[in-house]
Amino acid sequence: MAPPFEDIVIVDLDVQKTTWSRVHSAMRTLYLRLNRDPDIAWNKFFFEERNARVEVKRHGLWIEDGYIVFDCLLIDVDSHHLPDIRRSIAYANERSLELRESQREEREQLKAKARDGKLGPADMSGGCFSISSLGGIGGTAFTPIVNAPEVAILGVSKSSMKPVWDGKAFVPRLIVPLSLSYDHRVIDGASAARFAAYLAQLLGDMRRALL
């Protein structure tokens, strides 16, 4: 379950990062620290609101590493820049929450379709990775074919109990055969092998997924 949406707010003005502006000798470059680093969608909404009303557009203001950075005259900070920036922040928070709710509703609809066996080709397109399971049929392994334009697919076969040597004796272990196919034009073989090994570690001890 996804964590609840957290509004982005200004924490403080980082005076230690304040520098003279490269735009004008009378200006300063100020750094407003945010409570978290915005994602791409939030940044898009932030500048969408600003670009609709601010003539300078992006010039003189940018976002980097959890800061809103802008050039200004210090006398204008409280009266102009902070109210202006907070307006864009409020808009970006509202739109981001709407987007998150829309995505959640879409996921729930897809989950319901999947449970009812009603997923269509359009519902399963647009991704980059698929999982194909033949566990209900049987077999020990198979070669899943990548669904272009996706770049990889994981095949899961039927699990079974197998004797595994632990260094002292054979112990019963539940083994799940995994078959990973990938497009070598996009994915390096060593990276694919590390992914498969890491996935096997997680499945071998699900406590690792909580770390």
Name the nearest CA neighbour of 28 among 16, 37, 41.
16
Residue from 24, 59, 80, 184 carrying the catalytic annotation: 184
Looking up tokens 């992914």, which residue turns up?
Answer: 195
Mark whether 81 is an active-site residue: no
How far is residue 176 CA from its own chain's centroid?
28
- Quote the CA–CA distance of 211 and 198 in Å, as a whole number: 13
* Cis amide prior to 121 (ω within 30 degrees): no
Q: Distance of CA 69 to CAs 58, 59, 99, 106, Å? A: 11, 11, 25, 35
Q: What are the strands, taking DSSP E only, across the chain?
A: 10-13, 19-20, 28-34, 61-64, 67-72, 129-133, 152-156, 160-165, 170-175, 178-182
Degrees (nearest 5) of the Cα angle 208, 104, 43?
90
In this structure, are residues 64 and 45 in contact, taking their beta carbons and an 8 Å threshold? no
Which of the residues are catalytic? 184
